[in-house]
Structure 1
Amino acid sequence: MRSKVTVFLNFIFALFCSGYSQTLNRGSIPVKVPLQCTGLSYIPRSVWRARPEKPTIINLRIPIPHVFIHHTSSETCYDVESCSSTIRKIQMDHQQTKHDIGYHFLIGGDGQIYEGRVWHYRGFIVDNYNTKSISIAFIGDYTDDIPSENMIAATRNLLRCLSEKNYIKQEFEVHGHRDAESTFCPGDKLYQQIQTWPEYRLID
């Protein structure tokens, strides 16, 4: 009897896991999956006091193949208070026409990683790639300014974790926003930096 019960429970568990994975990838129900990354200096939405996202949220298909790098074209921030204030302003601006902040992650001048929209929710920043990419924004304007080593290191650590967890593909590609659209984003200096990364690819 015990063996039959065990088999039955294992079947139910496997069925649940299969349905959960398919639901996330199908994109029909916005299941929030927490970011399971250790060793990152990570600031969640609750700390920067995000406003609730609006309805109409669709999941990305996991693992995600593309990562786009942006800059916010704002002043650089150097602590949680100033970075939080900047991110709230960005969210407020984006929510004028969209359901939430467009970036999945934001990198502060303090070297912290700030949670943007839920990492597996579809964004709206890069046309033609919103269904298959995540967006990481460096807070500041990097047309002439060079991003700090702390910001670069934080981003590299984030990408490493996302890849190890299979949230993004093992062979993921990094692009600048300007690679997909006519824009100066992510700024000349930041764009020059990401072009040196091994995952950087031009878009055909």
Structure 2
Amino acid sequence: MHLIYCFILFVTVQWSYVNGDCGVVSKSEWDGLNPAHVQYLPRPVDLVIIAHTVTPTCNTDQRCAELVRNIQTNQIENLGFWDIGYNFIIGGNGKVYEGAGWLHVGAHTRGYNKKSLGIAFLGNFNNDPLSSSMINALKELLKCGVENGHLTSDYHVVAHRQLIATESPGRKLYNEIRSWPNWMEDVSSIKN
């Protein structure tokens, strides 16, 4: 019996390390659908693409989960995605929601999905105020990603707008991330 307990503990610790939940609200917690298909993302990743959803904002757990579910439903039913396109989504409540997660290829930036993580902020940051809890949630997620081997220690952060024709992640969020030490101003070396 003791051997079985030790084995279960070992598997649990290994699973936690591989998935590195990092305090992320899991799909089961926000009542998300399972993906129709998955493709595994080679890790560690060295590129993080920051976007915004251009949806309403949210401040409560209930409203943020509802918005994430709506995005997933739209992307699966109307756009034909296998799952929600972002790897992670950050709500105005300062929580990070699991999308495709650390392990799976997302569908956030055509031509870059197989080599990056796409992280979206719920809202329109051309207009909406950016909260410190949202920024801190992203910083903690990235730190945890490095600690758990999902991101290289020298990963680069870029804005969605640097890679495709979009205003994403909005002026306010774009201005914020441009001051970060991992910011990549010149994307010519990675541009498709």
The partner residue of 1:75 within 56, 65, 74 is 56
Counterpart Cα distance in 2 of 1:72 and 1:64: 22
**Per-residue displacement from partner, 1:85-126 (whole Å, max 9, x unpaired)?**
101110011102110000111111011111112321111211
Q: Which runs of 5+ in 1 are unaligned?
A: 1-30
The partner residue of 1:53 within 12, 16, 35 is 35
Relative to structure 1, is the Cα distance of residues 49 and 33 closer, same or farther in structure 2, using a 3 angstrom cutoff?
farther
Q: TM-score, normalised by structure 1?
A: 0.79
**Per-residue displacement from partner, 1:113-155 (whole Å, max 9, x unpaired)?**
1111232111121122111000111111101223100000010
Task: Name the SS of the counterpart of 1:136 in structure 2.
Answer: strand
Contact 2:84-2:107 within 8 A present in 1 as well = no
The partner residue of 2:98 within 111, 115, 135 is 115
Q: Which runs of 5+ in 2 are unaligned?
A: 1-14
- Structure 1 residue aligned with 2:137: 154
The partner residue of 1:139 within 122, 135, 141 is 122
The partner residue of 1:84 within 53, 60, 65 is 65
Contact 1:69-1:135 within 8 A present in 2 as well = yes
Counterpart Cα distance in 2 of 1:66 and 1:113: 18
Q: TM-score, normalised by structure 2?
A: 0.84
- Structure 1 residue aligned with 2:111: 128
> Which of structure 1's runs of 4+ aligned residues deviate more than 3 A?
31-34
Q: Say whether residues 1:170 and 2:149 are aligned partners.
A: no
Identity, % of aligned positions? 33
Counterpart Cα distance in 1 of 2:133 and 2:99: 19
Relative to structure 1, is the Cα distance of residues 87 and 194 closer, same or farther in structure 2, using a 3 angstrom cutoff?
same
Counterpart Cα distance in 2 of 1:33 and 1:54: 25
Counterpart Cα distance in 2 of 1:118 and 1:198: 24
Root-mean-square deviation over aligned CA pairs: 1.7
